[in-house]
């Protein structure tokens, strides 16, 4: 049995009070997947954890696994900030918290996804410097890579039910129940076959780094119809209740 996990690259997804002085931290680790950690004394003003356990910041964590194989609450022993970028602010901060909520809702604990971790780290770095319209391609890219990594994204170069190749000029819609299908007449949430093929080529890049860069570039040239389809698909797989960060953004935009 492993007695200690050391120097594990990680990000804090969420934290909440466990006692008067301690926190439960949900972390996304590169090699261990999503883990729940008890950060004892983290709420105390003198705690070394207090200034470090922040979301959207690259960390290295050390922790002692639970004694029982059936338990999934581990004890945090160390946390170090790795630097590299500042905390996203404004809309970029909300975008980052939206990514965190997706990971919390869609990833099982102790299920490693190192490729997805690297895509998340790259996306957070983009959010730290992105402004305005630059946020949307970063979000669409991560949504695609997340769905692909956890097996919820159909192939984007064929019709899902018939396996017929896409026609470049015809429009297709990505729907939760049927995958990629021919769009109905006047269906707004759809893309041309040529646009889906560009996305598939980006997702087929041979290395994770090239895949992330190509997907980011491809999403920069696509209209808002992609956002509608991906958000619908993600909410379908997340189930109820609706994603909180998305509703918060809607509320703020309505002010």
Of 197, 185, 190, 179, which Cα lies nearest the Cα of 236? 179
Domain boundaries, the chain: 5-81, 90-254
pLDDT, average across residues 223-236: 92
Residue 242 above 90 pLDDT? no
Strands 33-39 and 73-81, sheet pairing: parallel
Name the token pair of 146. Answer: 């997340």
pLDDT band at 67 (very low <50, low <70, confident <90, very high): confident
Q: What is the CA radius of gyration of the chain?
A: 20
Q: Which H helix or E strand runs over 218?
A: helix 208-220
- What is the C-alpha separation between 30 and 62, in angstroms, rounded? 13
54 contacts 10 by C-beta, under 8 angstroms: no
Q: What are residue 11's phi and psi, to 5 degrees?
A: -130, 145
In CATH, what is the architecture of 5-81?
Beta Barrel (2.40)
pLDDT digits (tens, 9 = 90+) for 167-207: 999 999 999 989 999 999 988 899 999 999 999 999 999 99
198 contacts 186 by C-beta, under 8 angstroms: no
Largest CA distance in the chain: 63
Of 64, 57, 3, which Cα lies nearest the Cα of 35? 64
Residue 254 above 50 pLDDT? no
35 contacts 74 by C-beta, under 8 angstroms: yes
Q: What homologous superfamily does CATH list for 90-254? A: Recombination protein O, C-terminal domain (1.20.1440.120)
Strand partners, 11: 28
pLDDT band at 38 (very low <50, low <70, confident <90, very high): very high
């Amino acid at each position: 049995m492993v007695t200690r996990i050391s120097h594990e690259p990680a990000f804090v997804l969420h934290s909440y009070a466990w006692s008067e002085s301690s926190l439960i931290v949900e972390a996304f680790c590169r090699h261990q997947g999503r883990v729940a950690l008890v950060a004892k004394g983290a709420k105390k003003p003198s705690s070394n954890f207090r200034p470090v356990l922040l979301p959207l910041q690259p960390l290295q964590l050390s922790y002692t696994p639970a004694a029982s194989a059936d338990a999934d609450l581990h004890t945090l022993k160390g946390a170090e900030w790795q630097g590299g970028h500042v905390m996203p602010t404004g809309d970029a901060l909300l975008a980052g918290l939206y990514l965190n909520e997706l990971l919390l809702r869609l990833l099982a604990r102790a299920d490693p996804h190192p490729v997805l971790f690297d895509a998340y780290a790259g996306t957070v770095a983009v959010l730290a410097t992105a402004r305005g319209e630059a946020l949307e391609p970063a979000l669409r890219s991560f949504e695609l890579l997340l769905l692909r990594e956890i097996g919820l994204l159909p192939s984007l170069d064929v019709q899902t039910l018939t396996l017929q190749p896409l026609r470049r000029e015809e429009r297709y819609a990505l729907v939760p129940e049927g995958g990629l299908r021919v769009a109905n007449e006047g269906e707004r949430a759809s893309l041309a076959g040529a646009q889906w093929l560009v996305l598939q080529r980006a997702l087929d890049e041979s290395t994770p780094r090239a895949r992330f860069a190509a997907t980011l570039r491809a999403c920069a040239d696509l209209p808002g119809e992609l956002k509608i389809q991906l958000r619908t698909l993600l909410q379908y797989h997340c189930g109820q209740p609706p994603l909180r960060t998305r509703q918060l953004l809607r509320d703020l935009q309505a002010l």
